Chains A and B, each alone.
Chain A
Amino acid sequence: MKSRVILLLAFLATLAATPRPAAADEYHYVNILVGDRASGMAGAYTAVSDDPSGMFYNPAGIAYASGRNISASVNAYHVTNKTYEKVIAGNGWKRTSSSLLPNYFGVIQPLGKFKVGVSYAVPESSLENQDQIFYDLPSTLPGITVDKYAINYNNSDTNNLFGPSVALEVNDQLAVGATLYVHKRNSHLIFNQYVLLSDARYQWPSQYLETDEWGIRPIVGVMWSPAERLSVGLTAAKTVVLTSKTLSQNTISTDVGGAYNDFVRKESDARREYPYQFKAGAAYFATPKLLLSADVSYFTPEDYTLFGVNYEKDPVINGALGVEYYFSPAWAVRAGLFSDRSNSPAITGREDRMVEQIDLYGGSLTVSRFTRNTSITAGGSFAYGDGQAHVYGGDQANPENNIQDVSASSWTLFLSSSYTY
């Protein structure tokens, strides 16, 4: 199909076989902060984890959960804005994503010497939309311009985790724990483009890509208290895809170079490789009012192939700092800073598919109100970053011309509650 169609616009991967588009999550590991207490502390939770949120971060921590049965639930409204500047002839691309979802729920219960629990988490959810029309653009055909170029892009990607956790307090200073999540991921992409040339010829490529993944995500953790009021946590996790089904469908209709239309459908069982995630954290429980915590996480590199396209990801190191302060037994505030760096290798301009590299940095702030055995938390997080992308341009001689500047920002609002018996 590729040989018969002339690319009118130097967009990468517009008509390539079945590219993996610039999905919202593909380049970042921190998407939505999870857990009512952890989200306020920017996710710096590996050494804290002593409540239901802990099942997601460090299951060993729930061994130290106080209270009999506890449940916590979070509802998040998550918005992302991504702006690619000067993509085509000075025009920028803008994609927005918004989703409203309950993104964490967990329950812990003592069972003999152990603490067991169950949790449900949605660490990634994006519904990305782009709806733009550009006029009067240059084309690759001499003497002919593009009258109109319309993009309709809709990409949804959600990752659901659900599963049990167990923790054991080995002795006063040491606890171990594990979570075994069932991993379910669904993504749908519809990328519809329409190009109308000044001589009334047109090109209409449309792309559909759907992936359904089932797997497991085991997390093992250790919590150690080397001294009073000090806690150190270590975790290791990896998502292992057990089954995956990807369907791609490309249609093209054009009258450039003669009337032509085609429909290609492909399926693949290829399974995505996820990286190993290692986290280390330290927390200092200074007073019953003040808690300080810091986390470092390391993600291993990825390298996998899908539909003949090779995807390579660099290793990533992220950090987070969190603080929790109680003004009184009834009111507390939590704040934090975090990094959400890109796993994308540096943009060269020679890539054969759309790529972007944006390092995001952000912060979180929440306020909580406590009563005898309940708490309610409201707040949000914000992240911003600048970076580069290659979504347009095939100048082989001067690849640096193919690099666009990108900026992205996202914010999330949380409303959560917890209950102790």
Chain B
Amino acid sequence: MKRTGLIVLAAGCILAAPALAQETYYVQSATTLLLAKPAMNATVLGRAERGTVFREGARQGNWIKVQYNGQDAWVSALTTTTSPPRLLTASDAPPTPDGEHTRLRSRASAQPAIVAGVKGFVYEDRNRASSGERVDFNALEKMEAVTVTPEELQAFIAQGGQ
């Protein structure tokens, strides 16, 4: 009986789930709201920009509880992650120790070439794709050519609200 008890204890120890620790959260979206309560219609305590760090964030469902100006505030979990904002554009990429930065730069500018270069096909050939699937990289280029500059975006938002 004692031995069975020991086994149960051992099994229980293995199963003991680690307590949920507080984590550091980073704001990923352009801006995010800091709310007084975990509800979209709560009082807005402030705004946080991309890159803002909350050292002791505790996740509760879709909300992160953080400290803001000495009081509790809630931030949407959809706008934050536990790792710092990633930057992919060539101009933004910070230097990294293992030279990833250099590769990043070359990849960002060479992406259309990579896309065309997969399987060694030339751009035109890519339209005659394998397994009879039609592929249109020209249309993709046209799609990617439509851009929205930050100024255009601000103007668009400003014109809205009717």
Binding site for B on A (CB under 8 A): 286-287, 290, 292
Contact = CB atoms under 8 A, between A and B. Distances in A.
A292 B15 CA distance: 12
A287 B17 CA distance: 8
Interface string B66-107: 000000000000000000000000000000000000000000
A292 B14 CA distance: 10
A290 B16 CA distance: 12
Q: Is the interface of B mostly helix, strand, loop or mixed?
A: helix
Contacts of B14: 286, 290, 292
Contacts of B15: 286
Nearest to B15: A286
5 contacts: A286-B14, A286-B15, A287-B17, A290-B14, A292-B14
A110 to B, nearest CB: 17
Interface residues of B, number: 3
Interface in B14-40: 14-15, 17
A49 B155 CA distance: 58
Contacts of B17: 287
A287 B11 CA distance: 12
A311 to B, nearest CB: 42
A290 B15 CA distance: 10
Closest 4 CB pairs of A and B: A286-B14, A286-B15, A290-B14, A292-B14
Contacts of A292: 14
Contacts of A286: 14-15
B14 to A, nearest CB: 5
B148 to A, nearest CB: 32
Nearest to A286: B14
Nearest to A229: B15
A286 B18 CA distance: 12
Contacts of A287: 17
A167 to B, nearest CB: 25
Nearest to A290: B14
A149 B131 CA distance: 73
A252 to B, nearest CB: 61
B86 to A, nearest CB: 15
A322 to B, nearest CB: 14
A35 to B, nearest CB: 24
A371 to B, nearest CB: 13
A292 B7 CA distance: 14
A288 to B, nearest CB: 11
A286 B15 CA distance: 6
A17 B142 CA distance: 85
A59 to B, nearest CB: 29
Nearest to A292: B14
A290 B17 CA distance: 12
A290 B14 CA distance: 8
A222 to B, nearest CB: 25
B19 to A, nearest CB: 13
A290 B10 CA distance: 14
B131 to A, nearest CB: 15
B88 to A, nearest CB: 17
Interface string B41-74: 0000000000000000000000000000000000
B43 to A, nearest CB: 40
Nearest to A289: B18
